[in-house]
Amino acid sequence: MSEAAKDSHISVEQQRYATLLSWGSRSGLAILVVSFLAYVLSWMPARIPLDQMPDVWSMSAHDYLLQTGAPTGWQWLSLLGWGDFASLLGIAWLSGASLLCLFAVIPIYARRRDWVFVGLCIVALLVQFLAASGLLTAGH
């Protein structure tokens, strides 16, 4: 018997959230490790050579972008052929792991007419999408 089934006081939406979060975080970590190995073991070329990293990692993010021409926002997606940017895929995956979970529990709350939590999930999703969108800009 599963842990969830034994603990009947755990709500259906919480169980669904947990299952999806587990898949999201495990797959994200797998992507992170594989892409990082491809980067540091030179299976994939690095856009900024690894031996030059000590020259740039002491700069502020703003100076680093100016010096290296590294992309901002979602432009790194067009550079997935490079090991240093392929590694960002796992990081973005982990950062977005909660999105699917929030989507998935909305129908459960809606069926129960728990409109406050439907609204909370939608607001949580909007906050995450706003953060991920790259529309919010700040910098040195």
Partner 1 sequence: MLNIALVKMRDMGGLLKANALLLLLSLSLFTAGAFAAESMPAASTMPWWGWAIALFITCFFLGIVAVPSGVGGGVLFVPIVGGFFPFHLDFVRGAGLLVALASALAAGPSLLRGGLANLRLALPLAVLASASSIAGAMIGLAIPAHIVQIALGITILGIVILMALAKKSEFPEVAQPDKLSSALAMNGIFHDAARNQKINWQVHRTPLGLMLFVGIGFLAGLFGMGAGWANVPVLNLLMGAPLKVSAGTSSFILTLVDSSAAWIYLNKGAVLAIIAVPSVIGMMLGATIGAKLLHVLKASVVRKMVITLLLFAGLRALLKGLGIWI
Interface with partner 1 (CB under 8 A)? 3-4, 7, 9-11, 13-15, 17-19, 21-22, 24-25, 28-29, 32-33, 35-36, 39-40, 50-51, 53-55, 57-61, 64-65, 70-74, 84, 87-88, 90-92, 94-98, 105, 116-117, 120-121, 123-124, 127-128, 130-132, 134, 136-140
Give the nearest distance from C-beta 105 to partner 1 in angstroms. Answer: 8
**How many degrees, rounded to 5, is the angle at CA 115 between CA 110 and CA 116?**
135
Of 10 and 110, CB closest to partner 1: 10
Long-range contacts of 71-76 (CB under 8 A, 24+ apart): 72/134, 73/134, 74/134
Give the nearest distance from C-beta 87 to partner 1 in angstroms. Answer: 3
Alpha helices in 1-140 (DSSP H): 3-6, 12-40, 53-56, 61-68, 83-95, 97-111, 115-133
